[in-house]
Chain A
């Protein structure tokens, strides 16, 4: 069972009491995960695991050492602390050492739902059985992954801070393929509360995409106007939105760098419709009560009206530069600063363009321009004269993310919805995007 607050407090206090070093932070985390994986309309693997882990980092004369163990008895915790102290004594001085935090005031985030933790094996089997039956009725081959997890843990410092937090998450993804292997559809949703996971919708959307993707045509790669569904947006932008790092920018090795050690903070790098921010207490996307270094999390706006509003500082670099450490991001939200359109409205206003449901295997190719490559997957459609005209085969793209969201390139956004996180994690809150130019560089036969 995941640890409760009293257990975490007792264990972290025990670890701190064993520390002889000048300063220390101790953390104890526990989790319970349960999954059911199916493929070829058949159950593959299913299991429940429980885990826990203790970690300590100590500083002796500014020298740092860390150790961890999943044996939580007294003798093992003592051995862990001694190991960390042995490492610290032989280490050079940690020039980025920051004294651990004193007592902090955290504002709780509600991301724990008992019903998710107490998932019923028979209910899950019935739901997945229904998904498989739905696939069979539509003569498609279904594969998918249902995953629920509970995490509970906390940390304590030698300077008197303690925090405890627990959360739950559940997700289901379904892929439907035609018997001839020529079309595939995919749909994924996740939430903290299992009551909000609509397994029927996930299955029916996947099957719909698969059936509507049959008889895909081959068209030339090139630059197209593109509508990206929210899943495609999280696939392609999820990594980029983690990169608003002040230190990398000031060190001259980031897309936010300018010559001479200057940065693009305050610059209008993006379309004026773009707002990117983190909100730990957003009702649709609860984050975490603590941000980097254990500081209490707060709302952080990275981009507003297309202008770079924040580059993030950790505690050490903030002190070095005379700034405040950034209390986030702990989740990621992209929304329009103005009006929104539905995907149907975006399609109706498109003379010629492409609708993309999902991307796959995205890798950075050039950090200077925040460029990536990757492929479309599980559903691509040609739009002509305001309507979906026909499905098309997959493409590889090479695309700069700053150009994707750049001034003038964002034509429309929908209301954001929660997407991503195939293993029941936090996900993101993102809209569908209509962009003027998107660079497909080759075709892909893969289905």
Chain B
């Protein structure tokens, strides 16, 4: 067994290739010894030539490096600070209309030929049982580099600066009387991605994502009750400047006050309420009910064994009333700071922006080159993604965002139109069926609205609804100034399971007459839906 990448130079007889690479394509702290040796184009040529020789009608190779840094704390101590990197390549071949994939962390000429041969053997073995050949829509050949938008690379920030920032967050929370515990975490991810396809495309991308978070818990030891409030702000495709652009300590202090307040908050009485949902909460409802239901692979039953299918089907395109006429959802892989924003997807299709729901009507899907072909499209929207060099790329969600009102409607404007309602902040418990229709969502903090005003805090709140009923009940949207772009790094899907990073922009929005239940009641008093036919 060889662990040396230097063998590649000897085997391939290649010359120095670093001059052709963007300056960010290697990490000097980890890779100084290889920076002059690694020629990804030559490695790719070896893979693609092997694939062609073995009968592939299409092939691609991704040579990717992933870096992660994570600091986690608890109260006044650091639990762990870690730094990691992971490098390797994966080859995908299409032979006889059947995919084969293989991957290895050993990036040498010999290994790339071996792995490509293995991918071809897998495709050939399985093509014997293939019923319908996989085909791809075309995409233009491209040579490009792309870098995500950020000001300060978190991997250039010393660990002690990150640690100090988290401990300040904890201190702000612990200063509030009644707070018992606080944890905080800061993780950063850097993806350095290289893609070469048999269509002739060569693409390098450099992506930074930053994900700070905290959780504050208040415990009433006399009653045995405990309540937690998590951070409302979410991950973004942004640099370390996120830590100073947002007042994290201030948010932690507020969260601490709310955690203590939750101990004595009024339990919600189950029933029908109008809801005003803050972007820190609504983004996850969008993710589950809109983001996943408009994935074409689900409608084609490709996820039937795991994530599920969709209540949407191709024959409903352009016809189904998804929500009220105010509802417009846009898919967008070009949006700055969007977690799923890219220059190109993992089969060289450029990042794009398109409508999914227009004026309340479902109009389009998320597609890849193979799913687009099945429904007769001529091009892909660029939604193919693998979460590592050793993961098979497959259809993943772009940023899917609810468009704000054109007018400057404020959150208070939305609240003022509610007689009996609840305002919800933050992502809580979330659950949705396998066709993305029946869902139940909780939150972090819940505020009772009476007569157009917030009158106090509630607890134990969750709402249940069905996707089209819920979006059909939307009758108010905040304006552009209220729009936020929360995101998540952990969207799970597929077999083997993979994680995707995705954002869902939205303003606060108002929904009429939604079923609310009490999650602490457990038994029948939790509330059974009146319209659960």
Contact = CB atoms under 8 A, between A and B. Distances in A.
Interface stretch (B80-88, B329-337, B351-359, B412-420): B80-88
A444 B438 contact: yes
14 contacts: A46-B98, A46-B122, A65-B159, A69-B84, A92-B77, A145-B306, A184-B304, A259-B223, A361-B431, A398-B440, A398-B526, A399-B522, A423-B495, A445-B311
B50 to A, nearest CB: 16
Nearest first, the 9 A-B pairs at minimum CB distance are A47-B101, A129-B129, A68-B84, A66-B82, A446-B433, A90-B160, A446-B435, A143-B304, A143-B305
B433 A442 contact: no
Interface in B205-240: 217, 219-226, 228
Contacts of A72: 3
Given A396-B464, A422-B306, A439-B526, A87 B83 contact: yes
B528 A222 contact: yes
Contacts of A361: 431-434
Contacts of B181: 251, 253
Interface in B403-448: 429-438, 440, 442
B104 A50 contact: yes
Contacts of A441: 464, 517, 526-529
Interface in A158-177: 173-175, 177
Nearest to B519: A365
Given A261-B221, A442-B528, A444-B433, A373 B440 contact: yes
Interface string A250-264: 011100011111000
B23 interface: no
Residue of A57, A71, A259, A443 with most partner-chain B CB within 10 A: A71
Contacts of A139: none
Interface residues of B, number: 103
Contacts of A362: 431
A121 B433 contact: no
Contact of B81 (A40, A44, A64, A423): A64
B496 interface: yes
A102 interface: no
A92 B533 CA distance: 57
Contacts of A39: 300-305
Given A47-B122, A49-B102, A128-B129, A369 B301 contact: no
A150 interface: no
Contacts of B434: 360-361, 375, 377, 446
B226 A253 contact: yes
B121 interface: yes
Interface in B448-476: 460, 462, 464, 466
A364 B429 contact: yes
B131 interface: yes
A40 B302 contact: yes
Contact of A40 (B221, B301, B392): B301
A374 interface: yes
B119 A47 contact: yes
Given A76-B30, A79-B29, A93-B77, 4 more contacts: A87-B81, A121-B122, A398-B519, A444-B433
B178 to A, nearest CB: 12
Given A42-B132, A46-B101, A439-B522, A66 B83 contact: yes
B87 A71 contact: yes
B37 to A, nearest CB: 12
Nearest to B158: A90
A117 B102 CA distance: 16
Contacts of A369: 520, 522
Given A33-B496, A441-B464, A444-B433, A371 B520 contact: yes
Residue of A66, A69, A125, A442 with most partner-chain B CB within 10 A: A442
A314 interface: no
Nearest to B389: A49
B90 to A, nearest CB: 7
B464 A125 contact: no
B497 A423 contact: yes
A70 B306 contact: no
A361 B460 CA distance: 20
Nearest to A95: B77
Contacts of A259: 221-224
Interface in A368-405: 368-369, 371, 373-375, 377, 394, 396, 398-400, 403
Interface in B484-523: 495-497, 517, 519-520, 522-523
B440 A96 contact: no
Nearest to A176: B304
B123 interface: yes
Given A65-B81, A96-B77, A144-B305, A70 B29 contact: no
A43 B130 contact: yes
Contacts of B437: 444-446
A444 B290 CA distance: 17
A264 to B, nearest CB: 10
B271 to A, nearest CB: 14
A129 B128 contact: yes
A49 B103 contact: yes
Contact of A70 (B85, B130, B160, B495): B85
Contacts of A377: 433-434
A72 B2 CA distance: 9
A373 B524 CA distance: 14
B99 interface: yes
Contacts of A222: 524, 528
B429 A45 contact: no
Contact of A47 (B79, B102, B226, B429): B102
A259 B520 CA distance: 18
A363 interface: yes
B493 to A, nearest CB: 12
Contact of A7 (B1, B5, B438, B462): B1
Interface in A48-107: 48-53, 55, 57, 64-73, 75-76, 79, 83-84, 86-88, 90-96
B105 A442 contact: no
Contacts of B301: 39-40, 141, 143, 177
B305 A141 contact: no
A132 B131 contact: yes
